[in-house]
Structure 1
Amino acid sequence: MFKLNLAEEAKKLTGTTAQDTVNSANQAVQQVVDQVTETGQKVLDDVCKTTQDAGEKAVQNVTSQVSAWGKSFGQSEEKKNAST
């Protein structure tokens, strides 16, 4: 007489165990987490770069404006001094 081991027979038929299924699901979830993390990091890097570029442009604009005001103020002072 032989013993029938249902779990072993089911494993032979399906080729996987519950643990294999869990491991496969864990791998899939980990891949998604890795992709989301990579994408999130890329977005963060892009936002930082854009912010830095905008900040540098703003500083350049303010510097240019201050220089223009300074030149304008200097010219008006020269005109005022020349007319006195």
Structure 2
Amino acid sequence: MFKVNLAEEAKKLTGTTAQDTVNAAGQAVQQVLDQVAEAGQKVVDDVCKTAQDAGEKATQNITGQVNAWGKSFGQSEEKKNVST
């Protein structure tokens, strides 16, 4: 009688073992995950930059409005003082 090692025979036929196939599949999955992570990080970076820009513009707009109100209030107080 002789023993047949199926894994060994499959390796002879295909040139790879099941472990090699699993490793290759694992590497492919890891590459996809890395690409997804990079793309996700880029989206996060872009969103943060957009939010920061919007915040800075809003701050400038509010500051400008407060200054305008202050000037307007100051002028109306000056007019009151002149009339009295």
1:43-82 correspondence runs (5 A): 43-82=43-82
Taking only aligned residues, the RMSD between alpha carbons, in angstroms, comes to 1.7
AA of the residue aligned to 1:44: V
| Runs of 4+ residues deviating >6 angstroms | none
Using the alignment, how far apart are the partners of 1:68 and 1:3 within structure 2? 94
AA of the residue aligned to 1:29: V
Using the alignment, how far apart are the partners of 1:6 and 1:83 within structure 2? 107
Give the TM-score, by structure 1 length.
0.88
Aligned residues: 83
Using the alignment, how far apart are the partners of 2:6 and 2:78 within structure 1? 103
- Superposed CA offset, 1:16-51 (max 9, x none): 110110000000110011011111111111111111
Using the alignment, how far apart are the partners of 2:70 and 2:6 within structure 1? 91
Using the alignment, how far apart are the partners of 1:47 and 1:24 within structure 2? 35
Gaps of 5+ in 2: none
- Say which structure, 1 or 2, has more relative contact order (CA 8 Å, 6+ apart): 2
Gaps of 5+ in 1: none
Alignment partner, residue 27 of structure 1 = 27
Using the alignment, how far apart are the partners of 1:5 and 1:73 within structure 2? 94
Percent identity between the aligned chains? Answer: 84
Give the TM-score, by structure 2 length.
0.88
